[in-house]
Structure 1
Amino acid sequence: MLGSYVFAIYYSHVFEELFAFRVMLLLFLLSKFTGEKFGQVEKTELDAHFENLLSRADSTKNWTEKIFRQTEVLLQPNPSSRIEEFLYEKLDRTVPSRPNNEELLGHYMQDAAKDFGPGTPYGSTLIKVGDCERRLGSVQREFLQTSAISFLTPLRNFLEGDWRTISKERRLLENRRLDLDSCKARLKKAKLAESKAAAVPDFQETRPRNYVLSASASALWSEEVDKAEHELRVAQTEFDRQAEVTRLLLEGISSTHVNHLRCLHEFVEAQTAYYKQCHLHMQDLQKELDRFPNAFAGNPGHSMASGGSSPLDPASAVETDTLKIEEVQAPATGTRKAKVLYDYDAADTSELSLLADELITVYTVPGMDSDWLVGERGNQKGKVPVTYLELLS
């Protein structure tokens, strides 16, 4: 039941347009019928300027409607959410505040970081990225609100306000035109009958009654002509008055264009500010991530992408076998102290597990990948990733 109600409200404007189209079609058919009924009377034509105003108004309405609908899709791609917002608006109620996609993603990332451990490289990165996503969501929410007020609302006000008034007056003008055409046809018919009745009678007619009847008919049709002329003057006055009202409304389309132009500038400014803030947030995020260790240091895919050798590559395997970490001896010079930045779990026996904030001795040996160092902690020895360390002088 509620779904049917929502559908009916949301598409009410479609039904209104369909009804208006049917009315115009009925008026068109009526005008055709009127013309055929009253001796093929010609339709009262509007001047070229008026026709241009009508064409310009129709074009404005059609394109405004398309721009409005597509902007709605841009700002809210989810059709269900659009219908819900439309329903709340028609019921004059506030739309419930819900997190958008960016805010929801940021929330999930931060919850995942708590589960994985905020002190791990992955967890700490999730926290940073999640916080950035939530800021992006907040910026997007502000952009949507600004765009709805400064751009969508004026377009909607035109379609639901000014255009409905114009359409109403145009339908009234069409009715006045039909009345005028009908009066013209009636006058034409009356004059034709009067001319026939006023034809000069035959005074030699042996039956004078025919002459009397002809004179009486001529007088009757003369009265009918006077009445038709009066009705025509009234219809012409009403038509001219309605045409003037409609013309003034149609000329107001120029002011509508000016207003929509201003709104369009505000929409562009809102978009510019939105994308600029998004760009700044992403730049800040990248700078923060650059201060973190490279999370892909131990990832085989990253080593291959950066041109280095992967531990899974045959060449790397040969290096590991050749080096035999347990047999590597610390050089007499070249060793350094390093502070561990993050916990690290050794992937195999050739690597050394690390704990954040501990100090270890590190050094390099010939043939080892530049992303790795040999680390020592007491009697323990193994490869450690460079990006997890802060080398001390």
Structure 2
Amino acid sequence: MSLRLPGSPMEGLGIDVKKFASDASTLFSRAKQYTEEQLQLGQVEKTPLDPDVDVMFRRFQVMQVNLSKICDSMNALVQPNPNLRMEKLVLSKLGSINQKWASCESNKVIDSGNSLGRPQDLSGLESLGSSLLCSSAGAKESNEQLGAILEASGNAQIEISKAEKIYLDKAKECVIGPFKTFLENDAKTIFKEKGILETKRLDLDAAKAKLKKVKTLEGRDQQEKEVRNLQTDFERQQELLKLLLEGTSSHHSTQLRAYQEFIDAQVDYFAAAASHAKSLQANAQALLGSNGSNGFPRRDSQTKAVPVSDIIKTD
């Protein structure tokens, strides 16, 4: 049965009244079944999941939560600045829309002068190195030795920051990349299919509850057929979810490989940083000379403070 509205702006629109009524009845049955289950009204029948599927889904939930936390922590490691992290998150969400809008060359806008005042994407070591190098030029005019120390320190920080960048790039490539792909694809698919399974279970249990209330033989035969069909749909959806959950076990090997690569990259970074730091130390000792430290005010062994008499003493 279709309902049409002649002489109206919706004249060409046909409304399937039976389908509309059926959908409304289905939604009402689901809501009623869900409410009774939550409030535990009467003897509410609830079809249980396959025990294997239930266990696998709980394990998957734990893995999904852990991967989300690890990704968040890795992102904080790669970019400690929360403002930049938020900016990149927003831009990633708008990336697809922006890509379509910027497909025309005339629509591309490049903020090369950073007029929007975005924070600079510099690491702490890189920023420190740049500051030391800038300070060295002015310091050399008044103290050649101090300027040389600042320059050597700045270059060392820059070199360490380069090693750090390689390390963090590796973290993004081997950990954040595959983990994010899993969370945004496989995990979302599993949650979606689990939601569909829950909907089919509600339909099945609502039909079972309705079957108990049917009094006529004809109505019972019709309702039993509906229950069998819904049972088949439920079992088919549960099998699909089971296959998806079984497939998540392959991601364990991906995680193991990611952690191993991350550890190797971290060891390389620490080794490179230690090497540059030792070179800086040797360079500083050479610049200061063997007696360079004797001219500094001594510190008290207990308080670590410099005695006032040493600061104001005159030769």
User: Does the TM-score normalized on the shorter chain lie above 0.5?
Assistant: yes
What whole-Å deviation, never above 9, does each CA across 1:217-264 have from its counterpart, x for those lacking one? Answer: xxxx11111101111111011001100001111112211222112111
Question: Paired residue for 1:107?
Answer: 130
Distance 1:35 1:91, change over 3 A: closer
Q: TM-score, normalised by structure 2?
A: 0.73
Question: Paired residue for 1:137?
Answer: 161
Contact 1:35 1:42 in 2 (8 A): no
Q: Could you tell me how far 1:29 is from its partner in structure 2?
A: 7.2
Q: Does 1:60 align with 2:84?
A: no
Question: Paired residue for 1:275?
Answer: 270
What whole-Å deviation, never above 9, does each CA across 1:362-387 have from its counterpart, x for those lacking one? Answer: xxxxxxxxxxxxxxxxxxxxxxxxxx
- CA–CA separation in structure 1 for the residues paired with 2:308 and 2:57: 75
Distance 1:285 1:34, change over 3 A: closer
Q: Does 1:300 align with 2:303?
A: no
- CA–CA separation in structure 2 for the residues paired with 1:45 and 1:73: 41
- CA–CA separation in structure 1 for the residues paired with 2:33 and 2:81: 44
Letter in 1 for 2:258: C
Letter in 1 for 2:163: V
Letter in 2 for 1:171: G
- CA–CA separation in structure 2 for the residues paired with 1:110 and 1:302: 29
- CA–CA separation in structure 1 for the residues paired with 2:73 and 2:126: 24
Question: For the aligned residues, what is the CA RMSD?
Answer: 3.4
Report matched runs for 1:278-289 at 5 Å: 278-289=273-284
Question: Paired residue for 1:160?
Answer: 184
| Aligned partner of 2:253 among 242, 258, 274 | 258
- CA–CA separation in structure 2 for the residues paired with 1:105 and 1:38: 66
Distance 1:170 1:29, change over 3 A: farther
Question: Paired residue for 2:27?
Answer: none
- CA–CA separation in structure 2 for the residues paired with 1:37 and 1:231: 25
Identical amino acids, percent of aligned pairs: 31
What whole-Å deviation, never above 9, does each CA across 1:159-200 have from its counterpart, x for those lacking one? Answer: 21111100100000001101111221222222xx2xxxxxxx
Distance 1:29 1:83, change over 3 A: farther
Contact 2:33 2:206 in 1 (8 A): no
- CA–CA separation in structure 2 for the residues paired with 1:285 and 1:249: 54
Q: Does 1:75 align with 2:78?
A: yes
Q: Could you tell me how far 1:37 is from its partner in structure 2?
A: 11
Distance 1:131 1:86, change over 3 A: same
Greater shift in the superposed pair: 35-44 or 113-122: 35-44
- From the CA coordinates, give the structure whose radius of gyration is larger: 1
Flag structure 2 segments of 5+ consecutive residues without an equivalent. Answer: 1-29, 100-109, 113-119
| Aligned partner of 2:230 among 220, 223, 235 | 235
Distance 1:115 1:304, change over 3 A: farther
Distance 1:116 1:125, change over 3 A: same
Larger helix fraction of residues = 2
- CA–CA separation in structure 2 for the residues paired with 1:102 and 1:58: 38
Q: Secondary structure at the match of 2:46?
A: coil
Contact 2:193 2:241 in 1 (8 A): yes
Letter in 2 for 1:177: R
Contact 2:190 2:241 in 1 (8 A): yes
Question: Paired residue for 1:126?
Answer: 150
Distance 1:293 1:303, change over 3 A: farther
Distance 1:35 1:298, change over 3 A: closer
- CA–CA separation in structure 2 for the residues paired with 1:253 and 1:79: 31
Question: Paired residue for 1:24?
Answer: none
How many aligned residue pairs are there?
261
- CA–CA separation in structure 1 for the residues paired with 2:283 and 2:40: 83
Letter in 1 for 2:92: E
| Aligned partner of 1:42 among 38, 45, 64 | 45
Q: Could you tell me how far 1:126 is from its partner in structure 2?
A: 0.7
Distance 1:36 1:128, change over 3 A: closer
Greater shift in the superposed pair: 97-106 or 181-190: 97-106
